[in-house]
Structure 1
């Protein structure tokens, strides 16, 4: 079975929305190396509508020598949306037909490498609480963002996790990877 992962940039106060507004100078070579390792394992990406729309407006025109641009433009992208219509304009992107969780279960059973949920806070939440997300990585920057959307919300179900890895980067980022504990 294929592994499904997600990684989110995160502030100390729990904000995951628009990390470009709070990352400042905390992104370092250590964090870059960790992310490069992830890109080497992932061969399929799941996206939410909002993330797709934001990224499709930027990455297809980004410089081709950028490692992430080369990766995200070339990788197959499956987009969860009730409002977008096919065909999608971004290369290698297709709309998920039918129910999301059934699609993801089938995708995890198919041949291939790691699947990563990117560009979708709601998508990551839905996959985590449905028990389909194998690992969640939070890359916590040493900053209090103050405003922005959080990954977890009041009323979320109690969900037990196990810490499977934790690293600190040179600039004080803490990268913690969790697996769901049954």
Structure 2
């Protein structure tokens, strides 16, 4: 059986929207895109690279897949994330059975997210990692399909934006944490 791990940047008030760039996700006229970038440092990069070294497949919601597919396959700067993401199997959850998936190694899971992911989770294969994909995370959390959360908590409060958990009730147990020099806490949680 495959495990599912969610890895997401969040503000202290739980916002996950548009951590990487101003244009990443403008829904609701979100004004703070790129909020996570100033907190990058070598400790955070090392912690995220360690997770890449474990390999695995990726699981995306449609919107996050389209954003990632428009950027990562076109990077030529030698970034190790490009190599990892290009090589990984990418499962994309969508209600649209005709969704075009141009990025190599991409497979569509058409239908209800909780149902299609529950079926995938029961198969043999690599563990699954989720980046972004807030709607998908909330759906899978409500169905108790998430095995681990890696929350990259930044020392800021945004006050607006899409929150990772929304109205989901979830008790978590801290299994490990790392604090970076810039005050980012990388916390590893498992649902209990």
Superposition TM-score, scaled by structure 2 size? 0.85
Counterpart for residue 102 of structure 1: 115
- With 68-77 and 113-122 compared, the bigger mean Cα shift is at 113-122
Question: Following the alignment from structure 1 to structure 2, what is the Cα–Cα distance between the partners of residues 61 and 164?
Answer: 36
Counterpart for residue 52 of structure 1: 65
Counterpart for residue 115 of structure 1: 128
- With 49-58 and 158-167 compared, the bigger mean Cα shift is at 158-167
Do the aligned partners of residues 41 and 117 (structure 1) sit closer, same or farther apart at CA in structure 2, a change above 3 Å counting? same
Q: Could you say what secondary structure the match of 1:85 adopts?
A: coil
- Residues 1:127 and 2:140 aligned together: yes
Question: Following the alignment from structure 1 to structure 2, what is the Cα–Cα distance between the partners of residues 98 and 147?
Answer: 30
- With 132-141 and 61-70 compared, the bigger mean Cα shift is at 61-70
Question: Following the alignment from structure 2 to structure 1, what is the Cα–Cα distance between the partners of residues 74 and 54?
Answer: 24
Q: Is the 8 A contact 2:97 2:111 kept in 1?
A: no
Do the aligned partners of residues 84 and 119 (structure 1) sit closer, same or farther apart at CA in structure 2, a change above 3 Å counting? farther
Counterpart for residue 19 of structure 1: 19
Q: Is the 8 A contact 1:49 1:84 kept in 2?
A: no
Cα distance, 1:133 vs structure 2: 0.3
- Residues 1:77 and 2:103 aligned together: no
Q: Is the 8 A contact 2:96 2:111 kept in 1?
A: no
Question: Following the alignment from structure 2 to structure 1, what is the Cα–Cα distance between the partners of residues 77 and 97?
Answer: 27
- Residues 1:158 and 2:173 aligned together: no
Cα distance, 1:54 vs structure 2: 0.9
Question: Following the alignment from structure 1 to structure 2, what is the Cα–Cα distance between the partners of residues 105 and 146?
Answer: 34
Task: Point out where structure 1 has 5 or more consecutive residues left out of the alignment.
Answer: none
What stretches of structure 1 move > 6 A for 4+ residues in a row?
A: none
Cα distance, 1:157 vs structure 2: 4.5
Superposition TM-score, scaled by structure 1 size? 0.89
Question: C-alpha root-mean-square deviation of aligned residues, in Å?
Answer: 1.8
Counterpart for residue 179 of structure 2: 168
Question: Following the alignment from structure 1 to structure 2, what is the Cα–Cα distance between the partners of residues 84 and 52?
Answer: 15
Question: Following the alignment from structure 1 to structure 2, what is the Cα–Cα distance between the partners of residues 161 and 23?
Answer: 23
- Count residues with an aligned counterpart: 179
Task: Point out where structure 2 has 5 or more consecutive residues left out of the alignment.
Answer: 21-33
Cα distance, 1:59 vs structure 2: 1.0
- Residues 1:142 and 2:151 aligned together: no
